[in-house]
Amino acid sequence: MASGTYKIVYKSGHINAARVFHPTQTSRIFIDGSDKGDLSKWRVSTVRGPELGWCIRNIGTEDLLFTDANPGARLIGKEGNDQDEITWKLEAVGKADTYRIFYPDTDLVWTAVPSPLPGRDVHEVFLQANIGAPEQEFKFVILSSD
């Protein structure tokens, strides 16, 4: 994988960001079937090489994807410029441009979990133990490269 701007897709939905200001300014990260423009675009770049991790920043909010290293922790967008602080390990799953996204030095991966919003097919992303499930596979669709 190369550094660039991507859409990150789970099944037929796009991973999107929505700005949240309470209690602190962060981004809520969710997956649904709609394209939210720049809120659906992610700048993916290496931190001193892919073996040391990837930084993922939303184009619309400029937040970095972040979570705590705990099972069940929710993925959020967080303001910040310290790319060394927020890195992810990508592991190819054998499908074109599709990866499991690990919290470094753990067996915890992004996992799409249905969100209970009536009448909408929406998922949120949480860290869960890697079990090789389809809910743990995300496709990176390149929009532009560096």
Q: What is the per-residue pLDDT across 18-39, written as a single tens digit (0 to 9) for each? A: 655 555 566 778 888 778 888 8
Label the pairing between strands 89-92 and 138-145: unpaired
Q: Does the pLDDT at position 60 exceed 60?
A: yes
> 3-state class of 95 per DSSP?
coil
pTM of the model: 0.88
Q: Using the CB atoms, write b or e for 81-117: b if 16+ within 10 Å.
A: eebeebbbbbeebeeeeebbbbbeeeebbbbbeeeee
Structure confidence at residue 19 (pLDDT): 59
Structure confidence at residue 15 (pLDDT): 77
Which CATH architecture fits 4-145? Trefoil (2.80)
Query: In angstroms, rounded to a whole number, what is the distance separating the alpha carbons of residues 80 and 26?
Result: 10
Q: Does the pLDDT at position 46 exceed 60?
A: yes
List the alpha helices (DSSP H) in the chain: none
Where does the pLDDT of residue 12 fall: very low under 50, low under 70, confident under 90, or very high at 90 and above?
low
Q: What is the per-residue pLDDT across 81-125, written as a single tens digit (0 to 9) for each? A: 665 567 899 999 999 999 999 998 999 999 999 887 677 778 889
